[in-house]
């Protein structure tokens, strides 16, 4: 451990900035061996901060080389300022002045991918959250907003394209084959939204006419080899721009909107003003190389980053504790957009599945934090499922409580009140309060309390009075630093059905108390409740359903989400029983009721294939792990495999019929919701057919692998064969796939991930060998996620091997990457943080690896924070 431990910072310590930067002029001399940055900042004392003037403090990474510093043309000598702990301090500055500074950067050596770095030969930046301080000295906090003017100079033949935020205002040639372009962004913005790109890039161009008739040039840039993969992103962008006008009344505000695809990127994408920078995995799409899931991700992320132009850029965050102000709201917006573009129910099922497995696990673990965290050591660790996904659920609850019209009024007021400002989640809620006249003070607890609330519902039927009473009790388990929780205010959407499945009542109950009863009168018989429809609040709902009631809801509920959920509840309960049987050494048995129910579903030709595929997918091992008191990795895996195989064999004819019904071989590929639904049912059916173990289905899968014209079908077949007991076929197909796609970096990510998640014997040796393979590159985060991330997150049987070898392998990686890219290192480490959830043997082995990291000198703040909090 380092002598000086990284320190936490606290929300309660927030103070407005003492100094503002009205204008920022940046000059980049981009060269192969170095980049010189000349910055000219117009600084003035913040008129809203009274008292005696404070010293000027600018953020600046300790490793950044400072060549020259002046104030109003007076050069400062080293004794005139102080540099320590990431800060540059200058005492006795005037009230208003121009600060100039020259820094020298080494982008080609920047492996952390924060600040200015190189990705496949092009220069690019990532400044959120605190990357700008690696470029120059600046008050790098989101409540300091400045107007930027940026000039880039670089070799003209190597870097013909020079981009930054806003509009290009001047350009010209310079000496020695160099050229320059000046960009001006008229909108004041925090430094985290600054961006530049320089490279030899291909361009797809289009345009969009806004609702007020302005013409916006749309430009998507990528490496030349990827020019044929930009069309879908362009279509998605135009759809998103139209949607934001129609649904939120938000018009774009510059003459150009640009997206650039880069292969080296720590996260998904970044909403820099007018110049979004994307991980190639979130923008490139082509039927031959991209799966349906990939297409949908592109559509969603393009929309997400575009929507940030209002929810994030025009109105930004006061400080990083407010991150969910922009992320939660923007995830909600992109989810609604995707729901409108595709199937609303399927989108909801996918999002809730992610929330229930990964976010609920985070909320129950050592890194649990409120949607608005109270403190952090390294903000990069708080780009979490809680801030993003739970944050979006909190906004969704406001939507559910207020209804769509008032919600829209509230969002209009929020944008109008705070345009050009840096604000808080409280300001967002206050706008919703103002338009609705409602008191949302209790609701605000969703922002300040961590943990997943439990709703326990019981009911009573009074036949004589025709009265039905639902009693709702809520509680929330303790989380780090929060022993006791106050009750939440939440919308509980419901329906009441009769035994035959006819809907009698529906509506939204508002729950506020720890225990509360709701009475329905005028009913003729005891209803079956459909509770928490469309997952109206991010809670764990407990109600003692009988299997018959759940099967009735699965068939008849008018709420599509709850139909699916009823089926999942039946499966989860059954699997939990089987896990107990397995642990007690009893033979596992497949109940006839489940087979019968699934048979009916499979024969119901009226059912939408997408919905059917969702209903017939067994709950994941990750979900069962999250639900367990103590995770029994082996029992969970064995039970799920048993159930899969048994359902495969019992319904073999039905699976084949479903496969044939959805055979899309004669259609040309289209990523629309209906086609995606057919492919998902077809490939699910193929999976069950393969699970029977019968030879003909291996042949069918091999045929599909060879004959399909799209990556969705090819990759599905590959994964099924690669994970099967047919080892020879597995090796053949993997080799064939490699030869076919070795020059497509994103496809090779899939190839790595398929192998890393292969549950058959020898998995660790395989991933170890792959880490030496030429397509693997340990500096590329996508490659790390595909190999290390997939093995540790999607191959539980081997990651949790009882000899601890999986844990040691991950810890080796984290320690190696910590020197190179701390953000990615800290993120990969997540599976080890769950050590308390496992049996004695495993949890001791996991803890040992965490301790080993803790005992390492000079850990990054990122890894230090996750490890130290996990060991508490």
Question: Which residues contact ligand ARG (rule: CB under 6 A)?
Answer: 126, 128-129, 266-271, 304-305, 327, 380, 383, 823
Q: State both tokens at 677.
A: 């639904």
- Alpha-carbon gap, residue 373 to 8, rounded angstroms: 12
Find which of ligand ARG, Zn ion, none residue 93 binds, CB within 5 to 8 Å per kind.
Answer: none
CA dist 830 and 556 (Å) reads: 40
Q: Is the Cβ of residue 222 or residue 301 nearer to ligand ARG in the bound state?
A: 301
- Comparing CA positions, the residue from 379, 242, 362 lying closest to residue 322 is 379
Q: What distance in Å separates the CA atoms of residue 646 and residue 633, rounded to the nearest whole number?
A: 20
The interface partner of residue 241, options being Zn ion, ligand ARG, none and the CB cut-off 5 to 8 Å by kind, is none
Nearer to ligand ARG, 323 or 497 (CB): 323
State the nearest-atom distance from the C-beta of 371 to Zn ion, in Å.
14
Nearer to Zn ion, 165 or 330 (CB): 330
Closest C-alpha among 387, 322, 316, 337 to residue 358: 387
CB contact at 8 A, 41 and 96: no
For ligand ARG, the closer of residues 197 and 618 by Cβ is 197
List the catalytic residue out of 305, 336, 389, 393. 305
Least Å distance, CB 312 to ligand ARG, is 7
The option from Zn ion, ligand ARG, none interacting with 126 (CB < 5 to 8 A, set by class) reads ligand ARG
Q: Which residue number, 350 or 732, has a Cβ lying nearer to Zn ion?
A: 350
How many residues in the shown chain lie near Zn ion by CB under 5 A? 2
User: For the chain, how far is it from start to end, CA to CA, in angstroms?
Assistant: 16
Tell me how far, at minimum, the Cβ of 765 lies from ligand ARG, in Å: 33
- Tell me which H or E stretch contains 115: strand 115-119
| Strand-pair partners of 30 | 35
SS (H, E, C) 811-860: HHHHHHHHCCCHHHHHHHCHHHHHHHHECHHHHHHHHHHHHHHHCCCCCC
Question: What is the smallest separation between the CB atom of 185 and ligand ARG, expressed in angstroms?
Answer: 17
Nearer to ligand ARG, 331 or 775 (CB): 331
Q: 384: which 2 tokens?
A: 């979490």
Query: How many angstroms separate the CA atoms of 813 and 546, rounded?
Result: 47
| Residue 251: exposure state from Cβ atoms within 10 A (0-12, 13-18, ≥19) | middle
Least distance between ligand ARG and beta carbon 270 (Å): 5
In the range 270-309, which residues lie near Zn ion by CB under 5 A? none
Query: Could you give the CA distance from residue 435 to residue 524 in angstroms, rounded to a whole number?
Result: 39
Number of H helices, E strands in the chain: 30, 31
661: exposed, middle or buried (C-beta count within 10 Å: 0-12, 13-18, 19+)? middle
The entry of Zn ion, ligand ARG, none near residue 295 (CB within 5 to 8 angstroms by kind) is none
Rg (CA), the chain: 28
| Smallest gap from residue 395 Cβ to Zn ion (A) | 13
Which residue number, 142 or 567, has a Cβ lying nearer to ligand ARG?
Answer: 142
Give the footprint of Zn ion on residues 313-342 (CB under 5 A). Answer: 327, 330
Given a contact cutoff of 8 angstroms between Cβ atoms, the answer to whether 690 and 720 are in contact is yes
Indicate which of ligand ARG, Zn ion, none lies near residue 76 (CB less than 5 to 8 Å, by partner kind).
none
Please choose which of ligand ARG, Zn ion, none residue 129 contacts, taking the beta carbon within 5 to 8 angstroms, the exact cut-off set by kind. ligand ARG
Q: Which of 125, 127, 135, 106 is nearest to 41 (CA)?
A: 135
Secondary structure class of 104 (helix, strand, coil): strand
- Output the residue with the shortest Cβ distance to ligand ARG: 267
Q: What is the closest distance, in whole angstroms, from the C-beta atom of residue 367 to ligand ARG in the complex?
A: 15
User: DSSP string spanning 717-732?
Assistant: HHHHHHTSS-HHHHHH
Report residue 621 CA to chain centroid gap. 20
Q: How far apart are CA 262 and CA 226, in angstroms?
A: 11
Which of the listed partners (Zn ion, ligand ARG, none) does 380 bind, with a CB threshold of 5 to 8 Å by partner kind?
ligand ARG
The reply to whether 305 belongs to the active site is yes
| CB of 327 or CB of 459, closer to ligand ARG | 327
Q: How far is the CB of 402 from ligand ARG (least distance, A)?
A: 25
Residues at the contact surface with Zn ion, assessed by CB under 5 A: 327, 330
Q: Which residues are catalytic?
A: 305
């Amino acid at each position: 451990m380092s002598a000086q431990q990284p320190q936490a910072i606290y929300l309660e310590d927030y103070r407005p900035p003492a100094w503002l930067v009205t204008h920022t002029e940046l000059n980049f001399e981009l060269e192969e061996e170095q980049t010189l940055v000349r910055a000219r900042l117009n600084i003035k004392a913040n008129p809203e901060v009274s008292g005696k003037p404070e010293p000027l403090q600018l953020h600046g990474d300790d490793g950044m080389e400072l060549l020259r510093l002046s104030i109003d043309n007076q050069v400062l000598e080293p004794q005139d300022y102080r540099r320590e702990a990431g800060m540059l301090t200058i005492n006795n500055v005037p009230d208003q002045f121009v600060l100039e500074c020259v820094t020298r950067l080494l982008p080609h050596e920047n492996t952390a991918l924060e600040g200015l770095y190189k990705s496949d030969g092009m220069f690019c930046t990532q400044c959120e959250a605190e990357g700008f301080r690696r470029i120059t000295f600046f008050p790098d906090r989101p409540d300091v907003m400045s107007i930027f003017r940026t000039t880039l100079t670089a070799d003209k033949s190597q870097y013909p394209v020079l981009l930054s935020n806003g509009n290009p205002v001047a350009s010209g040639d310079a000496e020695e084959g160099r050229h320059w372009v000046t960009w001006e962004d008229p909108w004041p913005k925090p430094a985290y939204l600054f961006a530049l790109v320089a490279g030899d890039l291909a361009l797809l161009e289009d345009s969009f006419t806004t609702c007020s008739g302005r013409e916006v040039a749309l430009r998507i840039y990528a490496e030349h080899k990827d020019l044929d993969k930009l069309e879908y992103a362009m279509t998605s962008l135009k759809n998103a721009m139209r949607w934001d006008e129609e649904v939120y009344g938000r018009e774009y505000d510059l003459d150009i909107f640009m997206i650039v695809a880069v292969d080296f990127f720590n996260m998904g994408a970044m909403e820099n003003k007018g110049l979004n920078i994307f991980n190639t995995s979130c923008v490139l799409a082509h039927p031959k190389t991209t799966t349906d899931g990939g297409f949908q991700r592109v559509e969603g992320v393009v929309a997400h980053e575009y929507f940030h132009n209002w929810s994030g850029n025009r109105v930004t965050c006061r400080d990083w504790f407010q991150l969910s102000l922009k992320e939660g709201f923007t995830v909600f917006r992109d989810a609604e957009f995707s729901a409108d573009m595709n199937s609303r129910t399927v989108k909801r099922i996918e999002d809730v599945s992610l929330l229930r497995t990964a976010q609920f696990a985070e909320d129950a673990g050592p890194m649990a934090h409120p949607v608005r965290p109270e403190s952090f050591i390294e903000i990069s660790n708080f780009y979490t499922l809680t801030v993003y996904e739970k944050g979006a659920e909190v906004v969704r609850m406001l939507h559910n409580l207020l209804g769509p019209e008032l919600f829209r009024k509230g969002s209009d007021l929020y944008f109008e009140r705070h345009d050009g400002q840096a604000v808080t989640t409280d300001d967002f809620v206050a706008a919703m309060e103002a338009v609705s006249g409602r008191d949302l003070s209790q609701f605000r607890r969703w922002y300040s309390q961590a943990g997943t609330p439990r709703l326990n519902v019981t009911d009573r039927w009074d036949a004589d009075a025709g009265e039905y009473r639902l009693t709702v009790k809520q509680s929330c388990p303790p989380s780090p630093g929060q022993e006791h929780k106050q009750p939440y205010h939440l919308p509980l959407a419901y329906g009441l059905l009769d035994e035959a499945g006819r809907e009698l009542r529906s509506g939204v109950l508002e729950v506020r108390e720890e225990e509360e009863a709701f009475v329905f009168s005028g009913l003729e018989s005891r209803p079956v409740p459909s509770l928490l429809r469309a997952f109206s609040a991010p809670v764990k709902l407990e109600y003692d359903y009988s299997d018959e009631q759940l099967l009735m809801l699965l068939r008849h509920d008018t709420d599509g989400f709850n139909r699916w959920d009823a089926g999942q509840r039946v499966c989860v309960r059954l699997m939990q029983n089987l896990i107990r049987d397995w642990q007690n050494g009893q033979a596992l048995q497949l109940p006839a009721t489940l087979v019968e129910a699934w048979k009916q579903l499979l024969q119901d030709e009226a059912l939408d294939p997408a919905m059917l595929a969702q209903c017939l997918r067994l709950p994941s091992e990750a979900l069962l792990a999250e639900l367990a008191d103590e995770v029994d990795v082996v029992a969970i895996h064995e039970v799920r495999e048993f159930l899969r195989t048994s359902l495969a064999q019992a319904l073999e004819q039905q699976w084949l019929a479903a496969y044939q019904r959805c055979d899309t071989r004669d259609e040309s590929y289209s990523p629309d919701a209906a086609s995606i639904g057919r492919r998902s049912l077809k490939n699910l059916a193929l999976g069950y057919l393969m699970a029977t173990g019968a030879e003909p289905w291996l042949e069918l899968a091999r045929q599909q692998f060879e004959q399909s014209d799209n990556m969705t079908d090819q990759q599905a077949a590959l994964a099924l064969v690669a994970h099967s007991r047919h080892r020879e076929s597995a090796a053949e197909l993997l080799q064939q796939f490699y030869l076919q796609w070795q020059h497509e970096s994103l496809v090779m990510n899939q190839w790595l991930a398929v192998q890393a998640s292969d549950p058959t014997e020898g998995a660790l040796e395989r991933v170890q060998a792959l880490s030496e393979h030429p397509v693997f590159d340990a500096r590329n985060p996508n490659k790390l996620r595909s190999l290390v991330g997939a093995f540790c997150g999607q191959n539980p049987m081997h990651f949790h091997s009882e000899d601890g070898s999986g844990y040691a392998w991950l810890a080796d990686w984290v320690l190696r990457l910590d020197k190179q890219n701390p953000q990615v290192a800290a993120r990969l480490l997540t599976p080890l943080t769950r050590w308390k959830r496992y049996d004695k043997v495993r949890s001791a082995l996991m803890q040992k690896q965490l301790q080993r990291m803790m005992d390492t000198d000079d850990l990054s703040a990122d890894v230090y924070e996750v490890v130290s909090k996990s060991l508490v």
